[in-house]
């Protein structure tokens, strides 16, 4: 990939100007920097060649966060992923649980064997989980009887460790792709590198791989590489459903250009290339899986359509507060209708905005709408929004508010599940009312972020990404010191 031009605007109409220090653009960091010499000024010296470049620093920060994430699950690594204690320690993992419950301990390719337990995940997740099991069984065969076999007879521990190593690599890809996509604000990617949401959620499931694929798709889109952007959407779609929503954002921009007769915007041919790349990649990945075992491939879609209200969703709140619980059919219908209405609203926003919205702004709105009305909200879903917030609305204050509610919900759902599966007296358990409040809080926080993005769309001068200098390093009330001229 060639780097973006420094003179030609990208598809969003933004020029990749020189990197801006965060302390000069974010009000929170500008205030905090007063204790460390103040914000970066106009005479900040920038070295062109140095070891501690932006990518190097972000890589180091990501590695530190990876270690913190690994330490945060040490209780489960030592004592196993079983019993109510894993909820108390906040280290539950689908990956470790599925090792035995989905027969990976019996066969590395269990997801493709209809005689074994059902594995209700998309095609590429099936492949990745199986390849990880191949590595796990291979390591166990080679090192199982040596002093290096720290996992002893706990194959689930080794399987989780191998998956976590792959996930750490995907995390680094996500950080660097976000850095590149951020253009003149590369330091915003530090939020992705150090995000508590990713630290706590990366070991639960395989969501980080879909997030990395989507971030690469966004980067290719910003570079005008339509086919490759579509291919990466197809890859992400084969991990999780939500990368598909990027097509909705591109469609909205193409519709706006057609309605307003704007030849400088994204056109239908561009959308067709992105959609074509998506379809091609999805077919290349999914058709072989269908041919191997159609029954195994279709399990994900059947399970998704038949499941009812899941934990931490707005529907689960209804279930907790109402006297009667909604049926699975009712939840599926209303979830679909509300999401369709939200997508229509995003289309209207994109068409009626005073300036063409940035694609990632529309993408965040669609993903946020899906999270708000979806039938289930798993704790690791918070990973989805982190890179999108960084690219769409990188205000540290708002990001910290959102993270605060997500962390509250993360612990609330585990304490709630500990009460469900455990046998504790009421005074030793987490009050269900607090759990419901935490769910409402995380939904409200996501709605708050969406509201901020909508405000930026209708008031482009408010958008800190579009603004060339949204927060001057020296306040207007304080005149800049004039240096004496040299003779």
Q: What is the per-residue pLDDT across 90-117, written as a single tens digit (0 to 9) for each?
A: 999 999 999 999 999 999 999 999 889 8
Among 62, 61, 86, which Cα is nearest to 72's?
A: 86
Q: Are 259 and 351 in contact (CB under 8 A)?
A: yes
b or e along 343-375 (b: 16 or more beta carbons within 10 Å of the residue's beta carbon)? Answer: beebbebbbebeebbbbbbbbbbbbbbbbbbbb
Mean of all residue pLDDT scores within the chain: 87
Q: Tell me how far apart the alpha carbons of residues 301 and 121 are, in angstroms, rounded to a whole number.
A: 8
Cβ-in-10-Å burial (0-12, 13-18, 19+) of 182 comes to buried
**Structure tokens of 141?**
């065969």
Q: Tell me how far apart the alpha carbons of residues 38 and 89 are, in angstroms, rounded to a whole number.
A: 39
Among 242, 248, 241, 216, which Cα is nearest to 231's?
A: 216
| pLDDT surpasses 60 at 370 | yes
Mean pLDDT value across residues 389-403 = 94
C-beta atoms surrounding 38 within 10 Å:
13
- φ, ψ of residue 255 to 5 degrees: the values are -65, -40
For residue 264, the model assigns a pLDDT of: 78
| pLDDT surpasses 70 at 144 | yes
Among 399, 358, 83, which Cα is nearest to 246's?
A: 358
For residue 432, the model assigns a pLDDT of: 84
| pLDDT surpasses 70 at 3 | no
Q: Are 201 and 384 in contact (CB under 8 A)?
A: no
Mean pLDDT value across residues 283-303 = 94
Q: What is the per-residue pLDDT across 173-207, written as a single tens digit (0 to 9) for each?
A: 999 999 999 988 999 999 999 999 999 999 999 99
| pLDDT surpasses 50 at 484 | no
| pLDDT surpasses 50 at 483 | no
Q: What is the per-residue pLDDT across 414-469, written as a single tens digit (0 to 9) for each?
A: 999 988 887 666 666 678 889 999 999 999 999 999 999 999 999 999 998 887 54
Q: Tell me how far apart the alpha carbons of residues 186 and 125 are, in angstroms, rounded to a whole number.
A: 30
Kindly report the pTM of this predicted structure: 0.88
Q: Tell me how far apart the alpha carbons of residues 190 and 204 are, in angstroms, rounded to a whole number.
A: 22
| pLDDT surpasses 80 at 479 | no
Domain edges within the chain? 54-462
């Amino acid at each position: 990939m060639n780097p973006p031009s420094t003179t030609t605007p990208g598809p969003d109409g933004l020029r990749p100007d020189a990197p801006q220090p965060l302390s000069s653009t974010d009000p929170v960091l500008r205030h905090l920097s007063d204790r460390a010499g103040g914000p970066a000024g106009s005479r900040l010296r920038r070295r062109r060649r140095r070891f501690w470049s932006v990518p190097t620093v972000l890589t180091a920060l990501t590695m530190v966060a990876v270690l913190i994430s690994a330490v945060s699950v040490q209780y489960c690594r030592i004592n196993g992923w079983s019993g109510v204690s894993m909820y108390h320690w906040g280290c539950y993992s689908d990956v470790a649980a599925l090792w035995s419950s989905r027969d990976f301990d019996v066969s590395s390719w269990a997801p493709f064997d209809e005689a074994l337990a059902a594995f209700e995940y998309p095609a590429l997740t099936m492949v990745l989980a199986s390849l990880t099991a191949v590595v796990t069984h291979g390591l166990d065969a080679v090192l199982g009887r040596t002093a290096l076999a720290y996992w002893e007879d706990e194959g689930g521990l080794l399987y989780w460790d191998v998956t976590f190593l792959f996930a750490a690599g995907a995390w680094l890809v996500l950080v660097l792709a976000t850095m590149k996509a951020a253009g003149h604000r590369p330091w915003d990617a530090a939020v992705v590198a150090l995000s508590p949401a990713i630290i706590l959620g990366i070991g639960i499931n395989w969501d980080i791989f879909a997030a990395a694929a989507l971030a690469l798709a966004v980067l290719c889109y910003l570079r005008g590489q339509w086919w490759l952007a579509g291919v990466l959407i197809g890859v992400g779609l084969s991990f999780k459903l939500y990368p598909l929503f990027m097509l909705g954002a591109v469609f909205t921009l193409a519709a706006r250009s057609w309605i307003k007769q704007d030849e400088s915007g994204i056109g239908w041919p561009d959308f067709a290339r992105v959609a074509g790349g998506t379809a091609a990649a999805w077919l290349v990945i999914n058709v072989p899986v269908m041919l191997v075992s159609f029954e195994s491939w279709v399990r994900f879609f059947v399970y998704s359509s038949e499941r009812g209200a899941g934990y931490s969703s707005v529907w689960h709140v209804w279930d907790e507060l109402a006297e009667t619980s909604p049926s699975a059919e009712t939840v599926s219908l209303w979830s679909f209708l509300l999401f369709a209405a939200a997508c229509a609203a995003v289309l209207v926003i994109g068409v009626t905005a005073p300036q063409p919205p940035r694609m990632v702004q529309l993408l965040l709105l669609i993903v946020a709408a899906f999270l708000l009305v979806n039938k289930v909200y798993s704790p690791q879903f918070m990973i989805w929004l982190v890179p999108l917030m960084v690219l769409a609305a990188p205000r540290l204050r708002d990001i910290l508010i959102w993270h605060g509610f997500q962390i509250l919900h993360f612990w609330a759902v585990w304490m709630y599940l500990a009460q469900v599966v455990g046998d504790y007296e009421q005074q030793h358990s987490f009050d269900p009312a607090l759990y419901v409040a935490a769910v409402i809080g995380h939904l409200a926080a996501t709605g708050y972020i969406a509201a901020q993005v909508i405000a930026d769309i209708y008031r482009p001068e408010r958008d800190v990404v579009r603004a060339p200098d949204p927060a001057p390093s020296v306040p207007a009330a304080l005149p800049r010191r004039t240096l004496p001229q040299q003779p």
